[in-house]
């Protein structure tokens, strides 16, 4: 494993991730059915700067950028706000301490109870798209790493939140 990547995995745990695991970008699974799930049934659709259809970058542009990344670190936390903070902190360290200038966090934005959209974002340094916003199948991507997306009998997500840092 690239030394810088393993240092960042260890650092993710120090920053507060419950678990952190390296993934090769070829292992990341995309499925256009994710867009159906975003558009129909998600109460964040159209209400957040970081959710479709307001991300301002097309899925095609995102996929072009994806081809340039070599690996990612999947983070698991029990709290979405902590997950976002760890992801952003790790992205910053990857850039500033390890020279990975295009490190990029994918994490659900939960900074504001109600997003400022359509007014300007209040915390743009924290705002990133979630893993599924650009069509990633989170369940299939994380399962080979030993993680699992689990719902309770009422259809609510059990408290395990996933984010990812893409590494160049
Ligand atoms: S930081 Fe706040 S205003 Fe900005 S995208 Fe996230 S929820 Fe919306």
24-56 pLDDT per residue, tens = 999 999 999 999 999 999 999 999 999 999 999
Collapsing DSSP states into helix, strand and coil, what is residue 136? Answer: strand
pTM: 0.93
Residue 151 has a pLDDT of 73
Is 121 close to ligand 1, i.e. is its CB under 6 Å away? yes
Cα 123 to the center of its chain, rounded Å: 17
Which atom of ligand 1 is nearest the CA belonging to 123?
A: 1
- DSSP-assigned beta bridge partners for residue 21: 74
Is 111 close to ligand 1, i.e. is its CB under 6 Å away? yes
pLDDT of 140 over the 70 cut: yes
Is 47 close to ligand 1, i.e. is its CB under 6 Å away? no
Is 50 close to ligand 1, i.e. is its CB under 6 Å away? yes
Tell me how far apart the alpha carbons of residues 5 and 38 are, in angstroms, rounded to a whole number.
31
Domain count, the chain: 1
**Domain span at residue 126?**
3-167
Residue of 121, 125, 126, 133 to mutate, ligand 1, most atoms within 8 A of C-beta: 121
Cα dihedral 101, 86, 48, 78, rounded to 10, equals 150
Q: How far is the CA of 81 from the centre of ligand 1 (A)?
A: 12
Please state the φ and ψ torsions of residue 140, each to the nearest 5 degrees: -70, -30
Is 127 close to ligand 1, i.e. is its CB under 6 Å away? yes
Start-to-end CA distance of the chain, whole Å, equals 14
User: Which residues of 7-160 form beta strands (DSSP E)?
Assistant: 19-24, 71-77, 104-106
Residue whose CA is at the smallest distance from ligand 1 atom 5: 49
* 1: confidence class by pLDDT, cuts 50, 70, 90: low
Please provide the average confidence, as pLDDT, over all residues in the chain: 94
């Amino acid at each position: 494993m690239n030394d810088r990547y393993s240092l960042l995995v260890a650092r993710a745990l120090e920053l507060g991730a419950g678990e952190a695991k390296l993934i090769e970008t070829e292992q990341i699974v995309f499925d256009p059915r994710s867009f159906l799930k975003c558009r129909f049934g998600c109460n964040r659709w159209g209400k957040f700067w970081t959710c479709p259809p307001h991300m301002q970058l097309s899925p095609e542009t995102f996929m072009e950028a994806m081809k340039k990344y070599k690996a990612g670190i999947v983070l698991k936390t029990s709290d979405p706000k902590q997950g976002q903070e760890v992801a952003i902190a790790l992205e910053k360290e990857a850039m500033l301490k390890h020279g990975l200038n295009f490190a990029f966090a994918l994490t659900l934005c939960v900074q504001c109870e109600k997003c400022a959209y359509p007014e300007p974002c209040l915390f743009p340094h924290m705002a990133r798209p979630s893993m599924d916003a650009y069509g990633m199948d989170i369940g299939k991507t994380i399962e080979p790493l030993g993680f699992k997306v689990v719902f309770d009998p009422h259809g609510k997500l059990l408290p395990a939140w996933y984010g990812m840092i893409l590494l160049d």
